[in-house]
Structure 1
Amino acid sequence: MALVDQVRADPDGAPISAKLKALLAIAGAVQQSGQRVGDEQIAAARAEGATDVEIHDTVLIAAAFCMFNRYVDGLATIAPDDAADYAMAADRIIAYGYTTTSPVAEPQSG
């Protein structure tokens, strides 16, 4: 999480590859508007070794998360503020997967 926090605070200064920095710049542009993705950003990502598939996937994933966030916000869903809540959810997914429920997560019907 320390690295994630660094990237969120300062992507340009974070200890990640130049390719990832270029792809994150594209994702940030998508977050503002799909039309914000420009030729310079695409060229910069390609210059750092990003393939067309990686650029495409970056745009797709960023756009999908923008849609998911708007959907969740529109439903007035509350997101936990405590990072421990997300760690616990990740542990549950690792242990039980997305399609299988944890034995303690679901109440037993009787």
Structure 2
Amino acid sequence: KNDFITSAISAKMKLLLWIAGSVQKGGKNVTQEQVNIAKSAGATDMEIHDTVLIAAAFCMFNRYVDGLATWAPEKREYYIERSKNRADEAYLTHDPANHTAI
């Protein structure tokens, strides 16, 4: 989870995560060398594109949430209590009485 270099994942995935880490630092930090090395490990143009897109999107989401000064409950129990409902009902709970989502 914290060290993908020593994780039991493929070399291709490690190289894609390396590219994602460069995106996290700044979009212009991805180098042609990184792309070439990832391709030599079997990464396709689409996989590299998707890696950059997803990493950039998560950077944007994090900045958005931080910029709105949002908060999240710190206690793990908060999430555990709600996880069964989310698994059973997704993110919408239907109220048949008024046909709206709660």
TM-score interval, normalised by the smaller of the two chains: 0.7 to 0.9
Give 2:47's aligned residue.
54
In the alignment, the residues of structure 1 paired with residue 52 and residue 15 of structure 2 have an alpha-carbon distance, to the nearest angstrom, of 12
Over 3 Å counting, the alpha-carbon distance change for 1:40 and 1:76 in structure 2 is same
What percent of counterpart residues are identical?
A: 53
Write out the 4+ residue segments of structure 1 that deviate beyond 6 Å after TM superposition.
none
Amino acid at match of 1:46: K
1:102 aligned onto 2:93: yes
**Mapping for residues 61-100 of structure 1, pairs under 5 Å:** 61-81=54-74, 85=79, 88-89=82-83, 92=86, 94-98=87-91
TM-score by length of 2: 0.78
TM-score by length of 1: 0.73
Highest Rg: 1 or 2? 2
Provide the alpha-carbon RMSD of the alignment: 2.7
**Which ranges of structure 2 fall in alignment gaps of 5 or more residues?**
96-100
**Number of positions where the alignment pairs a residue of Structure 1 with one of Structure 2:** 96
